[in-house]
Amino acid sequence: MKLITAVVKPHRLDEIKEALQAFGVHGLTVTEASGYGRQRGHTEVYRGAEYTVDLVPKIRIEVLAEDDDAEQLIEVIVKAARTGKIGDGKVWSLPVGTAVRVRTGERGPDAL
Amino acid sequence: MAPAIMLAADAPRLSSANTGFMLICSALVMLMTPGLAFFYGGMVRVKSTLNMLMMSFISLGIVTILWVLYGFSMAFGSDKGSIIGWTSDYVGFSGIGKTELWPGYTIPVFVFAVFQLMFAIITPALISGALADRVKFSAWSLFLVLWVTIVYFPVAHWVWGAGGWAFKLGVIDFAGGTAVHINAGAAALGVILVIGRRVGFKKDPMRPHSLPLVMLGAGLLWFGWFGFNAGSWLGNDDGVGPLMFVNTQVATGAAMLAWLAYEKIRHGAFTTLGAASGAVAGLVAITPSGGAVSPLGAIAVGAIAGVLCAMAVGLKYRFGFDDSLDVVGVHMVGGVLGSLLIGFFASGKGQSDVKGLFYGGGLDQFWKQCAGVFAVLAYSLVVSAVLAFLLDRTIGMRVTEDEEISGIDQAEHAETAYDFSGAGGGVIGSLAASALAATQSKKVDA
């Protein structure tokens, strides 16, 4: 099993959700995040004082996937998240040891 | 303030129209203090929002009581040596009859006293913007008591009290350019020179946490300012109040546009904070001058104030003093400009026939304005600095560095401005709060 994590632009959430649903993913977790990559932040001006805002708002999407689906799922997310402009974000995956569905106690792929 | 209309044969009688108008103006000026609280409150960081609001609100309590007890008597009682007033009937408002008229006017003493009270409330509140994030609430409250007693009440007497030296000299201050704005701005400068900068000044980002609150506050100030300015003539029998009303609107619009144009050229964007600040700068500048200038003159006064105040707010970074929300840059600079520009733009067709330089009146009035401006500025700056110094050495003016960093709201008021936990954003916060509530109800049960 893999945990796929995507840190992407907030306004792409709906596209990503729809693409994942179309692929057959049943659940995901979204958290608000902030960060920067190579685009760095932006500048704001208040009464002439310039502030560099380093951390840009992002969302972090987490999805559990079976090993065989993981690469394809990453492709789905990347395609849905892409605007082609700087700051589109990153997607990565990690191996998962155990997953349990809390209500039933099912483990492994059955828990997805 | 209007010269007393004294017709020997025909003493003024109570006018219901003027009395009603002045009661409404008093309520309008009262609303400026909450407006100011929001204007300032939106500009600070989340962690000190409530403290900023409270620094203004507490003035509505403290100054009201002092005004009734002795403030009105000190400011507007009979003159003692052109420096201070005192009328024992005014102490506690105890000897004022409810139909007794303010000498020379058509409104009761009570109406005049309550209208002037609102000015005494907002003036020290203006200072608070320079002291954001770092002053103990107890020290601020005590400073308020001392400052209005030693600075505001006497200065109001100099400028507006019958027999006050600036009044006798012929210094024009229609609604408070010197007594309110220069006075508060200079006091702010004096205090911050003593108490120093915020932790992280010039290093940490200190951007406004809510510009919508700032805009709301600026809107309330603008609205209330019609009472502040037009009401300062204490009646409408000769058309000067309405002229002031018009000029208030005109100068404020011009100043907002001027500030926005300056920052668009200089910094590349029309900002909401610039619009709000420009409007306030225009309101400040037209406050002393609106009765003396024509509407076209008001455009000039507003535009000059908008640009120069926009330039002035940057100076604190160069000089390294932490005038947190630009009280000096907007109120002191705007007040000085408005007061001095009377010397150039007085048309001779407003509150008096005094003409400024551009209307063929020479520089005579300008020098009088200078005297009023710099006397108030110097007195307020020095006395305020001394007061802050004495308080700092005795009870201490500032919260501890830890309290300042973690947030003055929690340290001084035991509250948080915003609860973000309900909407799914902070599940842990809401659970912790309900757990606390459960413990408390258990205590009650036991």
Under the banding of pLDDT at 50, 70 and 90, the label for residue B433 is low
Range(s) of the domain holding residue A97: 2-111
User: In sequence order, which residues have a C-beta less than 8 Å from that of residue A70 and are 6 or more positions away?
Assistant: A2, A4, A93
Residue B5: what pLDDT? Answer: 52
> The pTM is what?
0.88
- For the complex shown, is ipTM > 0.90? no
More confident residue, B238 or B65: B65
Which of B40-49, B293-302, B437-446 is predicted least confidently?
Answer: B437-446
Among the partner residues A48, A51, A53, nearest to B263 by beta-carbon distance: A48
Residues of chain B above pLDDT 70, percent? 92
Residue B440: what pLDDT? Answer: 52
Average pLDDT over residues A98-103: 94
pLDDT at B8 > cutoff 50: no
The reply to whether residue A47 touches residue B425, judged by beta carbons under 8 angstroms, is no
**Residue B89 within any structural domain of the chain:** yes
Candidates B271, B307, B323, B420, partner chain A, best to mutate (most A CBs within 10 A):
B271
Please report the residues numbered 383 through 422 in chain B whose beta carbons come closer than 8 angstroms to any beta carbon of chain A: none
Please give the tally of structural domains in chain A. 1
Binding-site residues on chain A for chain B (CB distance < 8 A): 32, 44-53
Cα dist. B159→B2, B130, B350 in Å? Answer: 12, 24, 19
Which of A41-50, B245-254, B341-350 is predicted least confidently?
Answer: A41-50
Candidates A43, A46, A59, partner chain B, best to mutate (most B CBs within 10 A):
A46
The whole-chain average pLDDT of chain A stands at: 92
The reply to whether residue B273 touches residue A48, judged by beta carbons under 8 angstroms, is no
For chains A and B, what is the number of CB pairs under 8 angstroms?
A: 31
Residue B183: what pLDDT? Answer: 97
Question: Positive or negative, the Cα torsion across B240, B278, B28, B52?
Answer: negative
Q: Per DSSP, which regions of B131-170 are E strands?
A: none
**Residue B252 within any structural domain of the chain:** yes
Among the partner residues A32, A47, A50, nearest to B273 by beta-carbon distance: A47
> Chain B contacts of A53, Cβ < 8 Å?
205
Among the partner residues B268, B326, B425, nearest to A47 by beta-carbon distance: B326
pLDDT at B293 > cutoff 70: yes
How far does A51 lie from chain B, in Å, by closest CA?
Answer: 6
Residue A51: what pLDDT? Answer: 85
Nearest to A8 by CA among A82, A73, A76, A84: A82
> Chain A contacts of B274, Cβ < 8 Å?
47
Residue B446: what pLDDT? Answer: 43
Which of B160-169, B198-207, B431-440 is predicted least confidently?
Answer: B431-440
Average pLDDT over residues B202-218: 94
The whole-chain average pLDDT of chain B stands at: 92
How far does A56 lie from chain B, in Å, by closest CA?
Answer: 15
Q: How far apart are CA B61 and CA B69, in angstroms?
A: 13
Q: Residue B302 belongs to a domain with what CATH number?
A: 1.10.3430.10
Average pLDDT over residues B219-244: 96
**Residue B417 within any structural domain of the chain:** no
Chain A residue closest in CA terms to B209 = A46
Under the banding of pLDDT at 50, 70 and 90, the label for residue B18 is very high
Q: Residue A17 belongs to a domain with what CATH number?
A: 3.30.70.120
Average pLDDT over residues B230-252: 95
Please give the tally of structural domains in chain B. 1
**Residue B301 within any structural domain of the chain:** yes
Range(s) of the domain holding residue B189: 16-403
Cα dist. B132→A33, B335, B399 in Å? Answer: 29, 21, 11
Is B260 an interface residue toward A (CB < 8 Å)? no
How far does A47 lie from chain B, in Å, by closest CA?
Answer: 6
Q: In what order do the strands lie in the sheet with A56-65?
A: A29-35, A56-65, A2-8, A89-95
If phi > 0 it is left, if psi is from -120 to 50 it is alpha, else beta; for residue A48 that is left
pLDDT at A61 > cutoff 60: yes
